[in-house]
A and B are shown apart, each in its own frame.
Chain A
Amino acid sequence: MMIELNNIFKWYNVGGSRSFVLKDINLSIQNGDFVSIMGPSGSGKSTLLHIIGLLDEPNEGAYNFQNENVLKLKEKKRSEIYKQHMGFVFQAYHLIDELTVAENIETPLIYKNLKANERKAIVADMLDRFGIVGKKDLFPNQLSGGQQQIVGIARALAGKPKVLLADEPTGNLNSKQGDEIMQLFKKLNKEEGVTIIQVTHSEKNAAYGDRLIELLDGQIQV
Chain B
Amino acid sequence: MNFYNLKIAWRFLLRTKVFTIVNILGLALGFASFVLASLYIDHEQSYDSWNPNYKDIYLVGLTNEGKASDLTSISLGPAIKAQLPEIVEVARVNSFPYDVPFNSDEDVFFIKHWLGADVALAKMFDIKTPGIDLDIISGQAVFIRPDIAQKLFPNISNIQKEWVVMGNKEDGLPLQLNGVTSVLPGLSNIEFDCIGFVKELGADLPDNQTVQTFIQVKSGTNIDELTTQINDIFKKSISKQSENINSSFAKSSVYLDPLKNLHLRPIHGSSTGYKIVIALGSLSIIVLLLAGINFANLMLVLAQKRAKEIGMKKIFGVTRAKLIFQFFSEVFFQCLIAGCIALFLVSITINVLVKNFQYYLSAFGFNGTVLFQLLVAVILTSIVSGLYPAFILSRGETITIIKGRYQNAPRTQYFRSLLLVFQFVIAFGFISVMIVIHKQMSFIETSDRGFNADQVVYIKNLATLNKTIDFTAFRNRIKAIPGIESVTVSTTVPGGANPIAQEFQHIDQKLKLDHIGVDFEYFETLDMEIMAGRVFSLNFPADTANAAVLNETAVRELKLQNPIGAIIRGCNTEFKIIGVVKDSKMQGFEELISPTIYSINNSCLIPRVEILAKISPTNMQATLGALATQWKSINKRDGDHFIYEFVNQKYATLYAKQEKLQQAFTGFTILIILVALMGLFNMAAYSISVRQKEIGVRKVLGASAQEILFLLNRPFLKIVCLSILISTPIAWWLANKWLQDFAYRIEIQWWFFALGAILSLLIAFMTVSVQAVKATYLNPVEVLREE
Q: Does B398 contact A (CB under 8 A)?
A: yes
The answer to whether B317 and A50 touch across the interface, beta carbons within 8 angstroms, is: no
The residue on B at minimum CB distance from A88 is B315
> Which of B312, B320, B397, B398 interacts with A96 by CB under 8 Å?
B312
Other contacts beyond A50-B399, A56-B397, A159-B316: 8, CB < 8 A: A75-B319, A83-B316, A83-B317, A94-B311, A96-B312, A110-B1, A111-B317, A112-B317
Q: Determine chain B's interface SS by DSSP, over half rule.
A: helix
The answer to whether B315 and A97 touch across the interface, beta carbons within 8 angstroms, is: no
State which of B5-13, B64-72, B182-190, B421-429 sits at the interface with chain A: B5-13
Which of B312, B313, B316, B397 has the most C-beta atoms of chain A within 10 angstroms of its own C-beta?
B316
The residue on A at minimum CB distance from B309 is A96
The answer to whether B317 and A82 touch across the interface, beta carbons within 8 angstroms, is: yes
Interface string of A83-101 (1 = CB under 8 A from B): 1001010100011111100
CB-defined contacts of A83 to chain B, threshold 8 Å: 316-317
CB-defined contacts of A97 to chain B, threshold 8 Å: 15, 308
Q: A96-B312, A110-B1, A111-B313 are in contact. Are A103 and B7 (CB under 8 A)?
A: yes
Q: Does B678 contact A (CB under 8 A)?
A: no
CB-defined contacts of B309 to chain A, threshold 8 Å: 96, 98
Min C-beta distance of B285 to chain A, whole Å: 35
CB-defined contacts of B12 to chain A, threshold 8 Å: 98
What are 26 A-B pairs at a CB distance below 8 A?
A: A55-B315, A55-B399, A56-B397, A75-B320, A79-B317, A79-B318, A79-B319, A82-B317, A83-B317, A88-B315, A90-B402, A96-B8, A96-B308, A96-B312, A97-B15, A97-B308, A98-B8, A98-B15, A99-B7, A107-B4, A107-B316, A108-B316, A108-B317, A110-B4, A111-B313, A112-B317
Q: Does A80 contact B (CB under 8 A)?
A: yes
Q: From residue 48 to 87 of chain A, which have CB atoms closer than 8 A to chain B?
A: 50, 55-56, 75-76, 79-80, 82-83, 86
Min C-beta distance of B582 to chain A, whole Å: 75
CB-defined contacts of A95 to chain B, threshold 8 Å: 308
The answer to whether B398 and A55 touch across the interface, beta carbons within 8 angstroms, is: yes
- Bound Cα distance A75, B319 (Å): 7
Chain B residues with a Cβ under 8 A of chain A: 1, 4, 7-8, 11-12, 15, 308-309, 311-313, 315-320, 397-399, 402
- Bound Cα distance A128, B202 (Å): 102
Min C-beta distance of A193 to chain B, whole Å: 22
How big is chain A's contact interface, by range?
A: 20 to 34
Q: A50-B399, A56-B399 are in contact. Are A94 and B319 (CB under 8 A)?
A: no
Which of B8, B308, B313, B317 has the most C-beta atoms of chain A within 10 angstroms of its own C-beta?
B317
The answer to whether B317 and A94 touch across the interface, beta carbons within 8 angstroms, is: no
Min C-beta distance of B631 to chain A, whole Å: 77
Q: A94-B402, A97-B15, A98-B15 are in contact. Are A111 and B8 (CB under 8 A)?
A: no
- Bound Cα distance A86, B317 (Å): 10
Min C-beta distance of A102 to chain B, whole Å: 12
Interface string of A161-178 (1 = CB under 8 A from B): 000000000000000000
Chain A residues with a Cβ under 8 A of chain B: 50, 55-56, 75-76, 79-80, 82-83, 86, 88, 90, 94-99, 103, 107-108, 110-112, 159
- Bound Cα distance A99, B313 (Å): 13
Min C-beta distance of B255 to chain A, whole Å: 66
- Bound Cα distance A164, B382 (Å): 40
CB-defined contacts of B402 to chain A, threshold 8 Å: 55, 90, 94
- Bound Cα distance A83, B312 (Å): 12
Min C-beta distance of A173 to chain B, whole Å: 16
- Bound Cα distance A55, B317 (Å): 11
- Bound Cα distance A37, B432 (Å): 65
Min C-beta distance of A106 to chain B, whole Å: 8
Min C-beta distance of A64 to chain B, whole Å: 20
The answer to whether B398 and A94 touch across the interface, beta carbons within 8 angstroms, is: no
The residue on A at minimum CB distance from B13 is A98
Min C-beta distance of B363 to chain A, whole Å: 47
Min C-beta distance of B7 to chain A, whole Å: 7
The residue on B at minimum CB distance from A94 is B308
The residue on A at minimum CB distance from B398 is A55
The residue on B at minimum CB distance from A106 is B4
CB-defined contacts of B311 to chain A, threshold 8 Å: 94
Q: A98-B7, A98-B12, A103-B7 are in contact. Are A55 and B397 (CB under 8 A)?
A: yes
Min C-beta distance of A152 to chain B, whole Å: 10
- Bound Cα distance A221, B93 (Å): 104
CB-defined contacts of B399 to chain A, threshold 8 Å: 50, 55-56
The answer to whether A80 and B4 touch across the interface, beta carbons within 8 angstroms, is: no
CB-defined contacts of B320 to chain A, threshold 8 Å: 75
The residue on B at minimum CB distance from A54 is B398
CB-defined contacts of A88 to chain B, threshold 8 Å: 315
- Bound Cα distance A55, B309 (Å): 15
- Bound Cα distance A86, B4 (Å): 22
- Bound Cα distance A159, B402 (Å): 20
- Bound Cα distance A112, B11 (Å): 23
